[in-house]
């Protein structure tokens, strides 16, 4: 089947059946809800809530189209052995990774706050990657998972635009993946960083990848669903 072109910046993005995965980055309670890691860094977490409805719609379309879906979660082992001291030291002096927060120990695997928000919860068969860093490739088996599945195209979503989304997109781009960042399905605590972060991806002829919104991506996924049926 021929690729379906998605209208994107800086040029149409080729959506290829069987070779495309949806990546949902760190849509965890600790980043989105008050009392978690995001707020401990001094951020207004309410800004990230706008990402949830369009991302839920995209997730539903991706599932209907039979795309591989990969969720990531940033966090650490309970003994913090995988958290570099430099990361641990940063942030607000009163609350750090591993400290008790409103939803359990902040950014610790197995805690309620570390898990994904209910609206975007993974379903059976979807991959969940636990990552200690900002990028989803560092310290994980994401490369092997994608290679085994024959994936070459990534639809990248999640939070935050300029931190984990950017780091993962850059890592993926350097590994040869074609990355489309879905603009209304990524979010930041900072409006300016979000806007410029998206510009940086598509600038210079698409230096790190492509950018399009759900109004462009969901119809293409629906076309994939119809064609495959
Ligand atoms: N602080 C911030 O903007 N982001 C993070 O710490 N992690 C992710 O982006 N997931």
Give residue 4 CA to ligand 1 midpoint distance, Å. 32
For residue 221, is it within any domain? yes
Q: Of ligand 1's atoms, which has the minimum distance to the CA of residue 74?
A: 10
Give residue 163 CA to ligand 1 midpoint distance, Å. 5
The residues that are catalytic are: 26, 131, 164
For residue 44, is it within any domain? yes
14-41 per-position pLDDT tens digit = 999 999 999 999 999 999 998 878 888 8
For residue 48, is it within any domain? yes
45-77 per-position pLDDT tens digit = 999 999 999 999 999 999 999 999 999 999 999
Give residue 90's pLDDT band: very low, low, confident or very high (50, 70, 90): confident
Q: What is the distance between the alpha carbons of residues 211 and 8, in angstroms, rounded to a whole number?
A: 5
For residue 2, is it within any domain? no
Count of structural domains within the chain: 1
Instruction: Report which protein residue has its CA nearest ligand 1's atom 1.
Output: 38
User: Does 226 have pLDDT greater than 80?
Assistant: no
Domain that holds residue 202: 15-226
For residue 219, is it within any domain? yes
**Summary mean pLDDT of the chain:** 95
Give residue 222 CA to ligand 1 midpoint distance, Å. 31
Instruction: Report which protein residue has its CA nearest ligand 1's atom 8.
Output: 164
Cβ–ligand 1 contact at 26 (below 6 Å): yes
For residue 1, is it within any domain? no
pLDDT score at 166: 98
For residue 6, is it within any domain? no
> Residues of the chain with pLDDT > 70: what percent?
98
Q: Which two tokens stand for residue 96?
A: 């750090």
> Residues of the chain with pLDDT > 90: what percent?
87
Q: Which two tokens stand for residue 36?
A: 């978690």
Cβ–ligand 1 contact at 163 (below 6 Å): yes
Q: What is the CATH number of the domain that holds 84?
A: 3.40.50.850
Q: Find the helix or strand (DSSP H, E) in which 181 lies.
A: strand 178-187
| pLDDT: which is higher, 35 or 107 | 107
Beta carbons within 8 Å of 137's beta carbon, 6+ residues apart: 143, 168, 171, 172, 175
User: Does 229 have pLDDT greater than 70?
Assistant: no
User: Does 91 have pLDDT greater than 90?
Assistant: no
Give residue 8's pLDDT band: very low, low, confident or very high (50, 70, 90): very high
Give residue 221's pLDDT band: very low, low, confident or very high (50, 70, 90): very high
Q: Find the helix or strand (DSSP H, E) in which 74 lies.
A: strand 68-74
| Cα-based distances in Å from 205 to 22, 210, 216 | 23, 9, 19
For residue 164, is it within any domain? yes
Best residue for ligand 1 mutational test, from 113, 115, 134, 157 (most atoms within 8 Å of Cβ) = 134
Give residue 81's pLDDT band: very low, low, confident or very high (50, 70, 90): very high
Q: What is the distance between the alpha carbons of residues 165 and 135, in angstroms, rounded to a whole number?
A: 8
User: Does 228 have pLDDT greater than 70?
Assistant: no
Q: Of ligand 1's atoms, which has the minimum distance to the CA of residue 163?
A: 9
């Amino acid at each position: 089947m021929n690729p379906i072109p998605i209208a994107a910046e800086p040029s149409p993005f080729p959506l290829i059946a069987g070779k495309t995965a949806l990546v949902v980055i760190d849509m965890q309670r600790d980043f989105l809800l008050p009392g978690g890691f995001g707020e401990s860094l001094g951020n207004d977490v309410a800004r990230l809530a706008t990402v949830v409805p369009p991302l839920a719609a995209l997730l539903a379309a991706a599932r209907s189209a039979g795309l591989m879906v990969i969720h990531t979660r940033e966090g650490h082992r309970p003994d913090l052995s995988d958290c570099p001291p430099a990361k641990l030291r940063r942030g607000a002096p009163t609350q750090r990774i591993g400290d008790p927060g409103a939803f359990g120990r902040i950014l610790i695997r197995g805690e309620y706050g570390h898990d994904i928000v209910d609206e975007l919860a993974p379903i059976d068969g979807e991959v969940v990657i636990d990552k200690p860093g900002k990028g989803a490739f560092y310290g994980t088996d994401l490369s092997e998972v994608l290679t085994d599945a024959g994936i070459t195209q990534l639809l990248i979503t999640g939070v935050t635009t300029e931190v984990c989304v950017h780091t993962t997109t850059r890592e993926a781009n350097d590994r040869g993946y074609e990355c489309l960042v879905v603009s209304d399905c990524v979010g930041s605590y900072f409006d300016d960083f979000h806007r410029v972060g998206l510009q940086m991806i598509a600038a210079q002829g698409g230096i790190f990848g492509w950018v399009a919104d759900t109004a462009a991506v969901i119809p293409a996924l629906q076309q994939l669903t119809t064609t495959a049926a």
